């Protein structure tokens, strides 16, 4: 039995570890060197192809590129997602003029596809036929921006009720975002989305209480989409609030005398605006000299027989309204006396106020004088 000192044992173990490491390096490097030498001898085994993904707007032009490495003239085939051959070594194989070969070099093969649609989406195969077939897939993605949305009225806006409006974007990819705005403030809506295969339809519905003052109020429906590059497609809409009419008779000022003419105008509001206006005289018929032209009633050569109350009425589908005017025709003498009585009444009132003020001042003055003497 041979005894080995600790120092010698460590030396032998180090030598054994070095030998093992050298063997591992040899086993790894030699095959790599052989493979590298083989690539240098036969470049066909080292050929490769790379594909680039592309995204394009619908209706635009897509460029599909295949990059080649160590190309030696081997066969290059480009196929569509249905595995139909588009080009065989630069030669057209599929009769579709939208595809054009624009570049074929030892480093790059590029084709273009015009008027792209969502049906063109998918993986386009770049295949390189050598001793071993190489292929890569270029994924074509098509983005569909939305058109300007439309507004549908689901429930009519009636005064005191609610308006129900739906904003619709029928087609986009990816799904568009819809937003209702009023006076620069967003109105929350109920959003629904439908998958139509490769595209999406989106709608947003709002319900808002309405009053007469809301008629004509401006609302906007905005469509937001990545393909719009920060822009928006906006549909402008004005609220159409229905309400019952109001009627007011516009009459002349001053006193009417016999022989004068009278013109009364019926001022009407309402939505929808009443088309038919009815003039009448309470407990009597309209005078023979009365003429109606639209909202205006005219009576020429007035006489006291025309005295009475005249009524204007209007209605629509949401209600009716009326206003009245009482006509009093004076004879010339009464008119003069009435005109002269008005200034005297005013003067009498002013004089009475002055007398009352003087009496009050005298009473206060006397009271103050007596108090000082006391």
User: Tens digits of per-residue pLDDT, 31-76?
Assistant: 333 333 334 344 445 778 899 999 999 999 999 999 998 888 889 9
Residue 109 included in any domain: yes
User: Token pair of 62, please?
Assistant: 């897509």
Domain total for the chain? 3
Paired tokens of 282: 């309470």
Q: Do residue 52 and residue 139 come from a single domain?
A: yes
From 318, 235, 240, select the one nearest 274 (Cα to Cα): 318
Taking the C-alpha atoms of residue 363 and residue 357, their distance in angstroms, rounded to an integer, is 10
Q: Same domain for 79 and 133?
A: yes
More confident residue, 20 or 347: 347
Distance separating alpha carbons of residues 169 and 175, to the nearest angstrom = 9
Last residue of a domain, one of 312, 327, 342: 327
pLDDT at residue 173 above 70?
yes
Do 114 and 155 lie in one domain? The reply is no
**Residue 124 exposed, middle or buried by CB count within 10 Å (0-12, 13-18, 19+):** buried
Of the pLDDT bands very low, low, confident and very high (cuts 50, 70, 90), residue 371 is confident
The residue with greater pLDDT, 362 or 36, is 362
Tens-place pLDDT, residues 288-328: 989 999 899 999 999 999 999 999 999 999 999 999 999 99
* Confidence band, pLDDT 50/70/90 cuts, at residue 178: very high
Measure the CA angle with vertex 277, ends 272 and 280; round to 5°: 150
Q: Whose CA is closest to 243, among 208, 212, 216, 214?
A: 212
What mean pLDDT is predicted for residues 245-249?
Answer: 96
Q: Is the pLDDT of residue 3 over 50?
A: no
The answer to whether 201 and 186 are in contact (CB under 8 A) is: no
Residue that finishes a domain, picked among 85, 108, 143: 143
- Provide the CATH number for the domain around residue 123: 2.60.40.10
CA distances from 300 to 285, 308, 358 (A): 16, 15, 52
Range of the structural domain that residue 224 is part of: 150-241
- In the DSSP assignment, the letter for residue 173 is B
pLDDT at 334: 67
pLDDT band at 370 (very low <50, low <70, confident <90, very high): confident
302 is a domain residue: yes
* Residue 357: pLDDT over 90: no
Mean of pLDDT over the chain: 84
Residues 193 and 131 in one domain: no
Length of the chain: 374
State whether 255 and 275 are in the same domain. yes
Instruction: Say if residue 105 is in the same domain as residue 192.
Output: no
The pLDDT of residue 250 is above 80: yes
CB 154 within 8 A of CB 141: no
The answer to whether 145 and 228 are in contact (CB under 8 A) is: yes
The alpha carbon of residue 289 and the mean position of all alpha carbons in its chain are separated, in whole angstroms, by 56
- Mark which of 241, 271, 306 sits at the end of a domain: 241
Residue 169 domain-assigned (yes or no): yes
Q: Which residue has the higher pLDDT, 334 or 33?
A: 334
- How far apart are alpha carbons 25 and 336 in whole angstroms? 133
Give phi and psi for 33, each to the nearest 5. -65, -40
Residue given tokens 């009769």 in the structure block: 95
Cα gap 179→221, rounded to integer Å: 6
**315 contacts 274 by C-beta, under 8 angstroms:** yes
- 136 and 194 both lie in a single domain: no
């Amino acid at each position: 039995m041979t005894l080995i000192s600790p120092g010698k044992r460590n030396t032998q173990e180090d030598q054994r570890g070095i030998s093992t490491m050298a063997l591992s390096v040899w086993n790894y490097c030699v095959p790599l060197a052989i493979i590298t030498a083989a690539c240098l001898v036969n470049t066909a085994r080292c050929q490769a192809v790379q594909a680039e993904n592309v995204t394009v707007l619908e209706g635009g032009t897509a460029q599909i590129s295949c990059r080649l490495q160590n190309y030696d003239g081997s066969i290059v085939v480009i196929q569509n997602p249905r595995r139909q051959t588009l080009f065989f070594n630069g030669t057209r194989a599929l009769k579709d003029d939208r595809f054009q070969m624009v570049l074929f070099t030892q480093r790059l093969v590029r084709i273009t596809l015009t008027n792209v649609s969502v049906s063109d989406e998918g993986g386009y195969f770049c295949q390189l036929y050598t001793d071993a077939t190489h292929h890569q897939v270029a994924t074509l993605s098509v983005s569909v921006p939305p058109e300007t949305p439309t507004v549908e009225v689901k429930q009519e806006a009636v005064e005191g009720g609610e308006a129900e409006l739906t904003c619709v974007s029928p087609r986009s990819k990816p799904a568009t975002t819809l937003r209702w705005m009023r006076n620069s403030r967003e109105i929350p809506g109920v959003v629904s989305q439908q998958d139509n295969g490769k595209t999406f339809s989106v709608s947003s519905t709002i319900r808002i209480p309405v009053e007469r003052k809301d008629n004509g109020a401006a609302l906007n429906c905005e469509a937001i989409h990545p393909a719009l590059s920060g822009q928006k497609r906006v549909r402008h809409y004005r609220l159409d609030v229905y309400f019952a009419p109001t009627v007011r008779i516009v009459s002349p000022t001053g006193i009417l005398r016999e022989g004068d003419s009278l013109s009364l105008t019926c001022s009407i509001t309402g939505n929808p605006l009443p088309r038919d206006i009815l003039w009448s005289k309470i407990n009597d018929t309209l005078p023979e000299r009365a003429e109606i032209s639209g909202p205006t009633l005219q009576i020429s050569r007035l006489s006291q027989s025309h005295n009475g109350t005249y009524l204007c009425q209007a209605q629509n589908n949401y209600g009716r309204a009326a206003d009245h005017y009482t006509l009093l025709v004076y004879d010339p003498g009464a008119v003069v006396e009435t005109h002269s009585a008005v200034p005297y009444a005013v003067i009498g009132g002013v004089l009475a106020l002055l007398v009352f003020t003087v009496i009050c001042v005298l009473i206060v003055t006397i009271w103050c004088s007596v108090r000082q003497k006391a």
